[in-house]
Amino acid sequence: TGTMVTVTFNGTYGGAPKAVFLTGRGASSQVPRPVISSVTTTTFVVSATAAPTASAVASLFYLVIE
């Protein structure tokens, strides 16, 4: 469990985005229950609510809405 990755935006938003949607990329995403744990004007953090296996591959899509 805990932080998996911090995504940094290409630029800084004037305010934190209203929403960040996250979904697994089909059967190839082996991370159990990934969630967005924080959003700022420059980044968002993806965390796992359950511990992935050591060989798990994260394959995710995301959409940011200003």
pLDDT tens per residue across span 36-64:
999 999 999 999 888 777 777 778 899 99
Say how many Å lie between the first and final Cα of the chain, rounded.
28
Tell me: the pLDDT tens digits for 5-39?
Answer: 999 999 999 999 999 999 877 766 667 778 899 99
The 10 Å Cβ neighbour count of residue 40 is 15
| Whether the Cβ atoms of residue 60 and residue 24 lie closer than 8 Å to each other | yes
What is the model's pTM? 0.82
SS (H, E, C) 2-65: EEEEEEECCCCCCCCCCEEEEEECHHHCCCCCEEEEEECCCEEEEEECCCCCCCCCCCEEEEEE
